[in-house]
Amino acid sequence: MKKVLSVFLAVVIMAVAVLPSFAKSDKCNCGEAPIIYVAALGSGTLTLDEGTENERVLFRPEIAEILPDLLPIVPAAVQLIADKNYDAFGDVLIDCVNSVFGELALDENGNSSDRVTCEEFHPDTADHGMEHSYYFGYDFRLDPVENAKLLHQYIQEVKEITKHDTVRWRASSMGGVVTMSYIRLYGTADIETIIFQCCPLQGTAVAGELYNGLVEINKDALKGYASQALPELGSDFLAGVLLALIEALDMAGVWDSLLVIADDLILNLKDRVFAECLIPIFGTLPGIWSFVPDEYYESGKEFMQLDPVENAQLIAKLDFYHYEVQSKCAELIALAKASGTTMYNVLGYDMQRTPLVTAYRETSDGTVDSKYASMGATCALLGETLPEDYTQAKYTDKNFMSPDRVIDASTCVMPENTWFIKDMLHSTTHDGHDELYDIMFESEKQLTVFDLEEYPQFLQNDVVNQCFYPVEAETDDSIKGAFDDLMNQFTFTKLVELIFKVIYSIIGA
Ligand SMILES: [Zn+2]
C-alpha cells in the first residue's frame, strides 16, 4: 500500500514538474508566424436562395452563365445604329444590367437580404509557415468594418489552430480596405507584418466618378484598355464581363459603329441608367462606397440620393469608414508601426485604367490609381512625366523620385516602405512578387526601399521572366534629343547615332 502510494506520489510530482513545460510547448516554436491572405473583391462566393431549387451563384458567376443575360445587347445595338432609338436600347441595356447585378443590392440600411448568403471562411489545417498561407474571403458588398470583425474572428481561429500568438498577412486590393478597418478596430499588437498589394487605401477615381455620375467614353482610352488591360485582367470579374461583351459586339461588327455614337449614347441614356440601375444597386453597397476617394465622397452621397432619414443606418456605416478609416489612413499606419508591426505597400503604375470615367488619364494598375494606392504619391498623368521644373516635394536628403520622372513618392504616407511596380496589372503577381514578399515577411526589422539593392523603390515589371529590374530613366530617342546630346559632348559615336536616327525616321515614315 505504501509502495503504491509512493509510486502515485512520484507520478504526481513528476506530472507537476513536467506541467509547466507542457504549457510552454503548447505554443508552436517553429518561428514562422502563420501568414494570412486577406483576399480581394469577389473572394467570398455569394449564393442566392441556397438550398432551394432556385439556388444560383450570384457572385462571381461564370461569364458563360451570364452571357445569355447580356447577349440581347448585341441585336439591340445593331438596331440602335440603324434607327437611333436610344430609349428602346436603354430598355434592353437596363434589363441586362439588372438581371446580372440586380440581386446584389442591399436594403436601405446596407444589410443583405436573407436570400443571399456568403460562404464562411475558417482555417482548415494547422499547416503554416512560408509555404502555406490561410485564405480569408468575405461578402464584398458589406461594410468593410463588418468584414473586419469577421477577419478578427478568423485570426483568433488561426492563432488557436497553429498555436501562435501572432500572425502576418498580405492584403490584396479590397483586402486592404478591410485591413485598415481592422487596424482601426483592433490595432496590430498581434500582427508582425502587413503587406498591402494594389489596395485602394484612399479609394479609386472610377468609384468616385461613378458615384458622382461623371461618365464619359474616351474612344482611344477604351481601345487601349480593351487591348492592354482587359485580356490580362482575367481574374477581374467586371473586366471579364466587359471583354465578353466587347468581343460579342466586335464579332457582330457593331463595336466600331457604337464608338462613333458613344457620346450621344451617354447623353441620351446616362440619367436613365443611373436612376434605374446604378443608383438602386450600387448606392446601397458600403463595400463599393469604401472605394470613393475623399474629394468625391460628400457630393457622391448627394448624387446617389441617400436619404438622411430612410438611409440613416447606411449613412452611419459609410461615414464611419470614410472619416474614421480612409481619412485617417496616415494615423492608422503610424499606430501600427508604433506597435512594432512592419508595414509594406506594393502597387502598380503606368497602366491604362477603365476608360468610362473622366479620370481615365490618371496613372494606375488598370483599376486602382497609383496616387490613391500609395496614399498620396505625386504622379504624372499616364504617358506624361512630371513638369521639367518639378523637384521632389519632401525629405530632399533622400531620393524618392522615379528615374522615369513619373512619380514623386516623397508625398505618400510611407515613402520609405512603398514600392512602385511599373506595368504591374492590378493584383496580378508572379514569382518575382513572391520573392519580394518573402523578404518582407522574413525580416524582423522594418525594411526600407534603400535596404534592398535588388529591389529599389521603382521596379519595372517583367511578366515573361517573372522578375523585376530597376526602372531606368526614359531615354530621349528623338532626333532633337540626339542632336542636343551631340552638341553637349561631340563624339564620333554620338554623331553616328544621330545619322542613324535621321535615316531611321525617313525609312520609318
Ligand atoms: Zn509554428
pLDDT tier for residue 28 given thresholds of 50, 70 and 90: very high
Predicted pLDDT of residue 480: 61
Distance 243 CA to ligand 1 centre (A): 44
Give pLDDT tens digits for 92-120: 999 998 988 899 999 999 999 999 999 99
Distance 125 CA to ligand 1 centre (A): 12
Residue list, CB under 5 A from ion ligand 1? 28, 30
Q: Is the pLDDT of residue 499 over 80?
A: no
Distance 185 CA to ligand 1 centre (A): 26
pLDDT tier for residue 175 given thresholds of 50, 70 and 90: very high
Give pLDDT tens digits for 246-297: 777 777 778 778 878 888 888 899 999 999 988 999 999 999 999 999 999 9
Please list, in sequence order, all residues whose beta carbon lies within 8 angstroms of the beta carbon of residue 360, skipping any fewer than 6 positions away: 218, 221, 225, 352, 353, 354
**Any idea what DSSP says for residue 460?**
E
Distance 434 CA to ligand 1 centre (A): 20
Q: What is the mean pLDDT of residues 162-187?
A: 97
Distance 24 CA to ligand 1 centre (A): 13
CA dihedral sign, ordered 233, 239, 240, 242: negative
Q: Are strands 116-118 and 342-349 parallel, antiparallel or unpaired?
A: unpaired
Distance 141 CA to ligand 1 centre (A): 34
Q: Which of 226-230, 241-245, 314-318 has the highest mean pLDDT?
A: 314-318
For residues 322 and 406, the answer to whether their CB atoms sit within 8 Å is no
Distance 153 CA to ligand 1 centre (A): 19
pLDDT tier for residue 6 given thresholds of 50, 70 and 90: low
Peptide bond into 60 cis (omega under 30): yes
For residues 366 and 173, the answer to whether their CB atoms sit within 8 Å is no
Residue 17: exposed, middle, or buried by beta-carbon count in 10 A (0-12, 13-18, 19+)? exposed
Residue 487 CA from chain centroid, whole number: 47
Q: Is the pLDDT of residue 15 over 60?
A: no
Q: What is the mean pLDDT of residues 345-352?
A: 94
Q: Which residue do the cell numbers 450600387 mark?
A: 282
Q: Among 59-63, 239-243, 500-504, where is mean pLDDT lowest?
A: 500-504
Distance 152 CA to ligand 1 centre (A): 19
Distance 27 CA to ligand 1 centre (A): 8
| d(C-alpha 400, C-alpha 198), whole Å | 19
Which residue from 207, 181, 193, 192 is spatially nearest to 364, judged by alpha carbons? 207
Tallying the residues shown for the chain, one arrives at 509
Task: Give, for 419, the enclosing helix (H) or strand (E).
Answer: strand 418-422
Distance 456 CA to ligand 1 centre (A): 31
Give the CA distances from residue 431 to residues 148, 394, 456, in Å, rounded to whole numbers and listed in that order: 29, 33, 17
Give pLDDT tens digits for 209-219: 989 998 877 77
- For 342-405, give the secondary structure using H, E and C: EEEEEEEECECCCCCEHHHHCCECCCCEHHHHCCCCEECCCCCCCCCCCCCCCCCCCCCECCCC
Predicted pLDDT of residue 279: 93
Task: Give, for 245, the enclosing helix (H) or strand (E).
Answer: helix 237-251
For residues 412 and 377, the answer to whether their CB atoms sit within 8 Å is yes
Distance 137 CA to ligand 1 centre (A): 23
Distance 160 CA to ligand 1 centre (A): 11
Q: Is the pLDDT of residue 390 over 90?
A: yes
Predicted pLDDT of residue 22: 46
| d(C-alpha 506, C-alpha 494), whole Å | 19
Give pLDDT tens digits for 255-264: 778 878 888 8
| d(C-alpha 324, C-alpha 290), whole Å | 12
CA dihedral sign, ordered 244, 115, 104, 182: negative
Which residue from 100, 91, 30 is spatially nearest to 64, judged by alpha carbons? 100
Largest Cα–Cα distance in the chain? 111
Distance 149 CA to ligand 1 centre (A): 24
For residues 352 and 366, the answer to whether their CB atoms sit within 8 Å is yes
Give pLDDT tens digits for 134-171: 999 999 999 999 999 999 999 999 999 999 999 999 99
Distance 126 CA to ligand 1 centre (A): 9
Distance 335 CA to ligand 1 centre (A): 26
Predicted pLDDT of residue 350: 94
| d(C-alpha 144, C-alpha 136), whole Å | 13
CA dihedral sign, ordered 424, 245, 139, 275: positive
Distance 425 CA to ligand 1 centre (A): 33
Q: What mean pLDDT value characterizes the chain? A: 88
Predicted pLDDT of residue 222: 73
Distance 159 CA to ligand 1 centre (A): 10
Q: Which residues pair with 486 in a beta bridge?
A: none
For residues 117 and 52, the answer to whether their CB atoms sit within 8 Å is no
Distance 344 CA to ligand 1 centre (A): 23
